[in-house]
Amino acid sequence: MTSFTRADLVYNDYDWTTPEDASKLKSGPDRNLFTSTEGEEVLYMVNCLMEDLSLTSKEDGQAIEKLIHDKLPLGKQSQVTAKRWLQEKFESIAESARNAV
């Protein structure tokens, strides 16, 4: 599994409290709510997407983090919904970049 860590994060305004149900960060995205201000959940989501999309660079992880931090619609949404939105946006950005070359 890819290991995007706290040291790799671009932003430093996350909460670092232990989630009430830490198990929701171990079995893959599900219907649990995704909290984009919680550092552990952001790291978990970035690493899940990097693995699913076969990404390995710190820059790719930071691009996903920026999408979470700056573009992910606010409001209550499940991990699955957040992951689907992020994957679509990341793939769209990557496709645009490939077409610009």
pLDDT of 5 > 80? The answer is: yes
Residues 6+ apart with CB under 8 A from 20: none
Q: Residue 5 — φ and ψ, nearest 5°?
A: -115, 175
pLDDT of residue 101: 47
Q: Which residues of 8-26 are buried (b: 16+ CB within 10 A; e: fewer)?
A: ebeeeebeeeeeeeeebbe
Cα–chain center distance at 93: 15
Provide the pLDDT for residue 95: 72
Q: How many C-beta atoms lie closer than 10 Å to residue 80's C-beta?
A: 14
* Domain locations along the chain: 6-100
Per-residue pLDDT, averaged over 20-43, amounts to 80
75-88: average pLDDT: 94
pLDDT at 25: 63
Amino acid present at 13? D
Interhelix angle 39-52/58-66, nearest 10 degrees: 120
Q: For the whole model, what pTM was predicted? A: 0.85
Q: Mean pLDDT score of the chain, rounded to an integer?
A: 87
